[in-house]
Amino acid sequence: MSAASSPAATSPRGVRSRIGAFSDRHRSTSVFFGVGLAAMALPLIVLLPPFNSFSGQGVWMDGFTIAGIFILLALGLNIVVGMSGLLDLGYAAFFAIGAYTYALAASPFTGIEISFWPMLLIGAVMAAVFGIMLGAPTLRLRGDYLAIVTLGFGEIVPITILNLSRYTEGPNGIGGITAPSIGDFRFPTTGNPWPYYLVMLGLIIVSMMLIYRLQDSRLGRSWMAVREDELAAAANGINTVTTKLLAFALGASTAGLAGVFLAAKLQTVTPNLFRFDVSFTVLAMVVLGGMGNIWGVAVGAFIIFMIQSVLLKQLNIFFDNVDVPILSDIDFLQYQFLLYGIALVGMMLLRPEGLFPSQRRKRELHTEEDADFGEHGDPMGASPE
Amino acid sequence: MTAERMIGDVVLELRDVQTYYGKIHALQGITAEVRAGEIVTLIGSNGAGKTTTLKTISGLLHPRSGSVHFEGRDVSRTSAHRLVRDGISHAPEGRRIFSRLTVLENLQMGGYTQSSKDVAANIEHVFELFPRLQERSGQKGGTLSGGEQQMLAIGRALMTRPKVLLLDEPSLGLSPILIQQIFGIIREINAQGTTILLVEQNASQALDVADRGYVLQTGRVILSDDAKVLAANDDVRRAYLGEI
């Protein structure tokens, strides 16, 4: 970073390192402009071929808004898995808690009408409380054992919602959830996709900035220490109990936020929106994007969501049209999880640090000398250390 | 050499400490004390309870009965991260450095409880003590040699400027020359005023550097005396110093 003051700044290399130094020092600014630019470009790109032939701009932007929900989820899970090294396989539970919190607070089912905006905060807090409830009894667990308990938690929540029909309408779900409004302007559910799109954009920018700040904070450093070696972390004066609870709480609150938004966007929630495949998909996004790297995880989530919601569908349509034998008989959407599985296995073999690795993970996975990492290995237990 | 060193009041006291791992009764009543400015060593064979004793002092474990007193205060229930702030620093067994972090980052993590100004000053201090670490400051902890890793573990523990430093087997897996070097540094740290409680399997070296020693066997203190007296004791020589 010393290059920022060097006289070589006129050469392209110097300029690049100056930009690098700037974005290191002002990550919040680069998040703001980076995400903002992408969000402005996307609605324009889809007006160009070949994208305009798939569907209209409105449908595309609806898709991007849902993709944003998954970006939020991946950002939150990255706090737990990537930054703190706590493998959580039941993350969808917090998503469900956020969604049902809003559903109960703004639907004819309960007759309560609380505005969307404070509910964003309340949903996040609610999920954080459940995050601590899950975190507290599992403090002594790590790796595989923690994964099993979180997997169980992820199953318990939707099953509970399913069976508490009196409070949740059971399998029918809660419908007629109120759309957000600003003053007299109520967000349109069809037609104009911009209001939801812009709100989601705001949520992503704010979350990413906050998470970057957290990563550079004392708390971020203690997450890293706990991930690397919990005993050494405690011996260095880090309170491992609050460190881990805060990881669960903050990770969960991001999912809660995403949940409130989902309920407001779909205006209906059912238990089967929050099954294990959501937890798994989000985990795949974090791993494929590059655990620990905030930008990488966000981009990874976007790419995977687009592959799943657009590419596979388009492949179906494409092969149906050109009428290639065999290929046109395949329903690519049905092979979604097979493809994830293959992608994950391939990833672990070829590029275990993810598509967009964090500097540290790159360092740790590509060393000439194989260091002894002790029993506290990678939280995924899958990388070839 | 001990002549000019000041030995003060008792800073650390263990009173009939009993610690369990689940049902396993690891410490069966340890009573010991450490005075300010001293080097005290705990020696004993595998499973005697040396590491458990250190963990119980530093708050990584808590005694089921008995008590640990630090500067006259009962700290038996105090958690590890608080004791670090109070002035007990523990360089745990097996070094436990952050192998994916650089040497400098390891030291910064050691200064987690300190203000950033103190961290800079303490890193200076550690680099004076271990010039080797300064040469390697940008290198990943896991790629250091065993001796350098041990230096880093001690350096990291010193980052809080502790009153009492707990060292768990600093000579483990090191070559004889490096062992000499590490023990030289332990003397130096002590001469600068840090009280040291040292756990060692290398009893001859430990008794050579220490003022007093405790011999542990199956979770009990079986012998305690001045280090020189212990080193001359026939039973100790036979059992721990490898003499027949």
ipTM value of the model? 0.90
- List the Cα angle A233/A237/A240 in 5-degree steps: 50
- List the Cα angle A232/A236/A239 in 5-degree steps: 90
Which of B61, B84, B100 should we substitute to test contact with A (largest number of A Cβ atoms within 10 Å)?
B100
Residue A51 lies in a domain: no
A226 φ, ψ to 5°? -65, -40
CB contact under 8 A, A231 and B100: no
pLDDT > 90: percent of chain A: 48
Residue A238 lies in a domain: yes
pLDDT, residue A379, reads 39
pLDDT > 90: percent of chain B: 86
Q: Does A371 touch chain B (CB under 8 A)?
A: yes
A68 within 8 A of A199, measured Cβ to Cβ = no
Q: Does A150 touch chain B (CB under 8 A)?
A: no
Partners of residue B101 in chain A, C-beta under 8 Å: 224, 228, 360
Q: Does B98 touch chain A (CB under 8 A)?
A: yes
- What the block records as the tokens of A269 is 């929630």
Partners of residue A367 in chain B, C-beta under 8 Å: 140, 142-143
pLDDT, residue B132, reads 94
- For range B203-216, the mean pLDDT: 94
Chain A residue with CA closest to B113: the answer is: A237
CB contact under 8 A, A237 and B113: yes
* Per-residue pLDDT tens over the stretch B109-163: 999 999 989 999 999 999 999 999 999 999 999 999 999 999 999 999 999 999 9
Residue A375 lies in a domain: no
Which of B52, B58, B62, B81 should we substitute to test contact with A (largest number of A Cβ atoms within 10 Å)?
B81
- Count chain A–chain B contacts defined by CB atoms under 8 A: 82
pLDDT, residue A22, reads 63
pLDDT, residue A15, reads 67
Tally Cβ neighbours within 10 Å of residue B24: 9
Among A222, A229, A369, beta carbon nearest to B98: A229
pLDDT, residue A369, reads 38
Q: Does A182 touch chain B (CB under 8 A)?
A: no
B17 within 8 A of B75, measured Cβ to Cβ = no
Residue type present at position A147: A
Residue A129 lies in a domain: yes
Range of the domain at A112: 29-45+61-179+186-365
Residue A55 lies in a domain: no
Tokens 């006289």 belong to residue: A7
A99 within 8 A of A232, measured Cβ to Cβ = no
User: How near does any CA of chain A get to the CA of B105, in Å?
Assistant: 10
Name the stretches of chain A with pLDDT < 70. 1-26, 359-385
Beta strand A106-107 with A181-182 is unpaired
- Predicted TM-score of the model (pTM): 0.85
Which of B21, B54, B98, B172 should we substitute to test contact with A (largest number of A Cβ atoms within 10 Å)?
B98
pLDDT, residue A25, reads 63
A65 within 8 A of A43, measured Cβ to Cβ = no
Tally Cβ neighbours within 10 Å of residue A55: 15
Chain A residue with CA closest to B91: the answer is: A235
Chain A, residues 186-225, CB within 8 A of chain B, namely 218, 221-222, 224-225
pLDDT, residue B243, reads 67
Number of structural domains found in chain A: 1
Ramachandran bin of B163, using left for φ above 0, alpha for ψ from -120 to 50, beta for the remaining angles: alpha
b/e map of B161-181 (b: 16 or more CB within 10 Å)?
Answer: bbbbbbbbbbbeebeeebbeb
pLDDT, residue B126, reads 96
* Per-residue pLDDT tens over the stretch A89-129: 999 999 999 999 999 999 888 888 899 999 999 999 999 99
d(CA B151, CA A281): 44
CATH code at position A212:
1.10.3470
CB contact under 8 A, A232 and B97: yes
Average pLDDT value for chain B: 93
Q: Does B152 touch chain A (CB under 8 A)?
A: no
CB contact under 8 A, B96 and A238: no
Chain B residue with CA closest to A217: the answer is: B112
Residue A279 lies in a domain: yes
Partners of residue B97 in chain A, C-beta under 8 Å: 232
User: How near does any CA of chain A get to the CA of B236, in Å?
Assistant: 32
* Per-residue pLDDT tens over the stretch B1-49: 444 677 889 999 999 999 999 899 999 999 999 999 999 999 998 889 9
CB contact under 8 A, B143 and A228: no
CB contact under 8 A, A235 and B140: no
Residue A7 lies in a domain: no
Determine the straight-line distance between the first and last CA of chain A, rounded to whole angstroms: 30
Surface-to-core class of residue A125, CB atoms within 10 Å of its CB (0-12 exposed, 13-18 middle, 19+ buried): middle
Chain A residue with CA closest to B95: the answer is: A232
SS (H, E, C) chain B: CCCCCCCCCEEEEEEEEEEEECCEEEEEEEEEEEECCCEEEEECCCCCCHHHHHHHHHCCCCCCEEEEEECCEECCCCCHHHHHHHCEEEECCCCCCCCCCEHHHHHHHHCCCCCHHHHHHHHHHHHHHCHHHHHCCCCEHHHCCHHHHHHHHHHHHHCCCCCEEEEECCCCCCCHHHHHHHHHHHHHHHHCCCEEEEEECCHHHHHHHCCEEEEEECCEEEEEEEHHHHHHCHHHHHHHCCCC
Residue A3 lies in a domain: no
Domains identified in chain B and CATH numbers: 10-236 (3.40.50.300)
CB contact under 8 A, B100 and A373: yes
CB contact under 8 A, B101 and A224: yes
